[in-house]
């Protein structure tokens, strides 16, 4: 199967060393209540409508074969139960007010999008990062595609939440140069309550990646009321240090994904969370330090010997 991609971001400085292209793959087995990419969770394409951009021109309604869009001078609405996700409305919209998230990309076409930036990857020590959603849900497609990067000398990173069978991870592991591995909580019940799944597989897969020798950075989204305590983050630090992992990045909660919930016709249940202050984050960061473990906060300068020091820190998922 070709890869199902919902976004592609060139010149990313957030998802691994150097200048990168980040390829966002559709589908995620988790449902984190704070998710900044809710359009990525579905295993099939989804339709978003950003009302603030809408011109009420009606072009989308005119091409919809299912007749499920209604537009007048004051409003835009859709009957999602009748939408077949054909994408014609998105193609007709002049301002990307209506957008279809998730499109099949044939391998050759995807490679054609990536290769023009090869000089930037080489110059900066960058490459390509597969994120999501959960890229390992498309492990077979990645295992087929990643060697095409490797044969061109392009560094490949996988940003994963790790909630997949080990057999899927094993398909990708030999082809990845770096894992950016999300770890949100070490307690199974707390993890299940916040994400819809316990973390047994995640912890096992993190240990598997660490034991493989492939470089791994643990990334922790810091979510108010869920894991922003010395106790919870300390347990994560202990787990990482115990696996011989040398680096944790803290990714503070932010509200940038909120408009996507409205565009999907969903409620943003995390909209009232208050992002942690810089002082609080720094205090938490200090409590996580362990021998051999470097802990960074998104936005803080990297140490001089850090291979990613020319890159901005990663965006919170």
Name which position in 14, 21, 26, 97 contacts ligand SF4 (CB under 6 A). Answer: 97
Q: Which is nearer to ligand SF4, 90 or 210 (CB)?
A: 90
Q: Is 3 in the site for ligand SF4 (CB under 6 A)?
A: no
Q: Report the candidate in 160, 198, 136 with the shortest Cα–Cα distance to residue 314.
A: 160
Q: Report the candidate in 259, 269, 253, 249 with the shortest Cα–Cα distance to residue 311.
A: 249
Q: Which is nearer to ligand SF4, 56 or 309 (CB)?
A: 56
Q: Is 160 in the site for ligand SF4 (CB under 6 A)?
A: no
Name which position in 8, 43, 92, 207 contacts ligand SF4 (CB under 6 A). Answer: 92
Phi, psi angle pair for 206, to nearest 5°: -65, -45
Q: To the nearest whole angstrom, how small is the minimum distance from the Cβ of residue 151 to ligand SF4?
A: 29
The token pair at 292 is: 């051999």
Q: Which helix (H) or strand (E) holds 208?
A: helix 200-212
Q: To the nearest whole angstrom, how small is the minimum distance from the Cβ of residue 142 to ligand SF4?
A: 16
Q: Which is nearer to ligand SF4, 18 or 184 (CB)?
A: 184
> Binding to ligand SF4 (CB under 6 A): which residues in 29-88?
30-32, 35, 37, 40-41, 47, 54-60, 64, 66, 68-69, 71, 76, 78, 83-88
Q: Which one-letter DSSP state was computed for residue 12? A: E
The token pair at 61 is: 């309604």
3-state helix/strand/coil string of 40-60 = HCCCCCEEEECHHHCCCCCHH
Beta bridge mates, 23: 8, 130
Q: Is 281 in the site for ligand SF4 (CB under 6 A)?
A: no
Q: Is 136 in the site for ligand SF4 (CB under 6 A)?
A: no
Name which position in 13, 46, 157, 161 contacts ligand SF4 (CB under 6 A). Answer: 161
Q: Which is nearer to ligand SF4, 28 or 281 (CB)?
A: 28
CA-to-CA distance for 289 and 285, rounded, in angstroms?
7
Binding segment toward ligand SF4, per CB under 6 A, in 94-102, 242-250, 269-277, 298-306: 94-102
Q: Which is nearer to ligand SF4, 2 or 58 (CB)?
A: 58
CA-to-CA distance for 181 and 281, rounded, in angstroms?
20
Q: How many residues in the shown chain lie near ligand SF4 by CB under 6 A?
A: 40
Q: What is the longest distance spanned by two Cα atoms in the chain?
A: 63
Could you give the dihedral angle defined by the CA atoms of residues 225, 231, 14 and 17, in that order, rounded to the nearest 10 degrees? -170
Q: To the nearest whole angstrom, how small is the minimum distance from the Cβ of residue 246 to ligand SF4?
A: 23
Phi, psi angle pair for 278, to nearest 5°: -60, -40
> CB–CB of 7/24 below 8 Å?
yes
Could you list the residues that contact ligand SF4 (CB under 6 A)? 28, 30-32, 35, 37, 40-41, 47, 54-60, 64, 66, 68-69, 71, 76, 78, 83-89, 92-93, 95, 97-98, 132-134, 161, 317
């Amino acid at each position: 199967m070709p890869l199902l991609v919902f976004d592609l971001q060139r010149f990313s400085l957030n998802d691994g060393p150097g200048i990168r292209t980040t390829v966002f793959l559709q589908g995620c087995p988790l449902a984190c209540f704070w998710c900044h990419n809710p359009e990525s969770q579905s295993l099939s394409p989804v339709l978003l409508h950003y009302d603030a951009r809408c011109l009420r021109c009606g072009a989308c309604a005119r091409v919809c074969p299912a007749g499920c869009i209604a537009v007048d001078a004051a409003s835009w609405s859709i009957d999602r139960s009748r939408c077949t996700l054909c994408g014609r409305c998105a193609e007709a919209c002049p301002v990307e007010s209506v957008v279809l998230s998730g499109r099949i990309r044939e391998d050759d076409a995807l490679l054609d999008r990536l290769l023009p930036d090869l000089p930037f990857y080489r110059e900066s020590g960058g490459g390509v990062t597969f994120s999501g959603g959960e890229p390992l849900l498309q492990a077979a497609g990645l295992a087929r595609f990643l060697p095409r990067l490797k044969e061109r000398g392009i560094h490949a990173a996988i940003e994963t939440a790790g909630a997949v069978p080990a057999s899927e991870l094993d398909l990708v592991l030999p082809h990845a140069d770096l894992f950016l591995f999300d770890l949100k909580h070490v307690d199974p019940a707390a993890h299940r309550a916040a994400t819809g799944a316990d973390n047994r597989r995640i912890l096992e897969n993190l240990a598997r990646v660490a034991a493989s020798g492939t470089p791994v950075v643990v990334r922790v989204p810091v979510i108010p009321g869920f894991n922003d305590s010395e106790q919870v983050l300390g347990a994560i630090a202990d787990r990482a240090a115990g696996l011989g992992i040398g680096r944790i990045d803290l990714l503070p909660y932010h509200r940038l994904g909120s408009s996507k919930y409205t565009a999907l016709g969903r409620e943003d249940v995390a909209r009232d969370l208050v992002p942690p202050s810089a002082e609080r984050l720094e205090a938490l960061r200090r409590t996580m330090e362990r021998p051999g473990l470097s802990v960074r906060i998104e936005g803080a300068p990297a140490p001089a010997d850090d291979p990613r020091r020319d890159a901005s820190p990663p965006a919170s998922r």
